[in-house]
């Protein structure tokens, strides 16, 4: 039985690893959101980049929390997920936060592309001048789109449970046998479409930005000789490349989740789950180390914590 876990060992391993990843991710995103909030209170203003990072940090903190609760219940107390309307509410909230996370991440990449890249097209010049006014609408649009998806998720799951409860009789919720292909195909198609659109926005923005930075680098090498000052550009390239890579991995995991949704516990499902939980933490770390203020605050916080531990 290769690729199979013992039921008990699989459950224990899953809940332990998921809990460690969740609490680490919640600390990272909570740190990012709290630092940005404190900075906002001090200067009483937010720039566009900080608005996106704050929204993303709060969204990921809540997403990791609700996903951990959902996983904890499904592994240790699966009967709770058959009590109306717990599965509908948890799935709808999780879908809202997941899509908000993905779409705001895509908005961040689009923002970096418009803000940093240098093209002479009239549309691009217009967007560069209006980007600070566009950002709130991008965030609002992401939240609205995610809300629509979450309402559809609630209705689809509620219909599936009500149909199956009627066919199996009242009080036998733990024996439900939902036909995934019949009830959840519209949900899978809608989720896959949303994932694909966000993924294409990220890849297209990253390619445009990399092309612009590469062209700028060549121009500086031709005109400036030794005084290139390319550190900022190289750092931006590394950040975008790493972001695109982990976003690609996360997109592949989301698609595999749809494929393996009807499968029982196995090694592939376990690995997909681990990679999905790693995305909000790893990407937020990249964002922190790409921001000078956040990086400086994080290093100071870790050094203070290390000093307190050593004093004990």
Residue 41 inside a domain? The answer is yes
CATH of the domain at 145: 1.20.1070.10
The total number of structural domains that make up the chain: 1
For residue 94, the enclosing domain spans: 1-164+179-222+230-303
The pair of structure tokens assigned to 235 is 């750092």
27, part of any domain: yes
The tens place of each residue's pLDDT in the chain, 312 residues long, gives 444 444 466 677 778 888 888 899 999 999 999 998 888 888 777 788 888 999 999 999 999 998 888 888 877 777 777 777 888 888 889 889 988 988 898 888 888 888 877 777 788 888 888 888 889 998 999 899 899 888 988 888 777 766 655 544 444 433 444 444 455 677 777 777 887 888 888 888 888 877 877 777 777 666 654 444 455 556 666 766 777 777 777 777 777 776 665 555 566 777 777 777 788 888 888 888 888 888 888 888 877 765 665 555
Q: Are 221 and 228 in contact (CB under 8 A)?
A: yes
pLDDT for 109 equals 83
What pLDDT is recorded for position 116? 78
Cα–Cα distances in angstroms (integers) from residue 216 to residues 80, 146, 172, 228, in the given order: 57, 37, 66, 11
Angle (CA) 281 255 261, round 5°: 100
**Distance between CA atoms of 105 and 98, rounded to whole angstroms?**
11
Query: Is 172 part of any domain?
Result: no
Query: Is residue 11 a contact partner of residue 71, using CB atoms and an 8 Å limit?
Result: no
First to last CA, the chain: 49
Coil, strand or helix at 176: coil
pTM across the whole model: 0.81
Residue 235 located in a structural domain = yes
Q: Are 119 and 261 in contact (CB under 8 A)?
A: no
SS3 223: helix
Residues 6 or more apart whose Cβ sits within 8 Å of residue 206: 109, 113, 240, 241, 243, 244
Tell me, yes or no, whether 311 lies in a domain: no
288 part of a folded domain: yes
Say which residue the tokens 């060992």 belong to.
9
């Amino acid at each position: 039985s290769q690729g199979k876990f013992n039921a008990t060992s699989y459950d224990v391993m899953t809940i332990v690893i998921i809990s460690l990843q969740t609490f680490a991710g919640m600390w990272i995103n909570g740190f990012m959101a709290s630092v940005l909030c404190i900075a906002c209170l001090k200067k009483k203003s937010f720039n566009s980049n900080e608005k996106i990072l704050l929204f993303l940090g709060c969204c990921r903190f809540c997403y990791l929390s609700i996903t951990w609760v959902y996983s904890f219940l499904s592994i240790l107390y699966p009967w709770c997920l058959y009590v109306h309307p717990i599965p509908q509410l948890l799935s709808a909230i999780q879908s809202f936060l997941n899509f908000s996370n993905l779409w705001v991440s895509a908005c961040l990449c689009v923002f970096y592309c418009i803000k940093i890249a240098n093209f002479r097209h009239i549309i691009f010049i217009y967007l560069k001048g209006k980007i600070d006014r566009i950002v709130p609408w991008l965030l609002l649009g992401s939240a609205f789109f995610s809300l629509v998806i979450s309402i559809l998720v609630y209705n689809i799951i509620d219909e599936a449970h009500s149909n199956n409860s009627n066919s199996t009789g009242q009080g036998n919720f733990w024996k439900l046998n939902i036909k995934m292909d019949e009830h959840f195909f519209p949900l899978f198609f809608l989720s896959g479409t949303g994932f694909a659109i966000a993924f294409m926005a990220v890849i297209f923005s990253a390619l445009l930005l990399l092309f612009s930075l590469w062209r700028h680098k060549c121009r500086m090498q031709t005109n400036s000789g030794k005084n290139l000052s390319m550190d900022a550009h190289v750092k931006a390239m590394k950040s975008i490349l790493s972001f695109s890579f982990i976003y690609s991995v996360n997109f592949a995991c989301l698609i595999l989740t749809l494929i393996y949704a009807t499968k029982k516990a196995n090694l592939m499902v376990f690995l997909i789950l681990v990679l999905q939980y790693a995305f909000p933490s790893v990407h937020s770390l990249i964002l922190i180390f790409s921001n000078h203020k956040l990086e400086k605050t994080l290093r100071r916080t870790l050094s203070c914590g290390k000093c307190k531990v050593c004093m004990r």
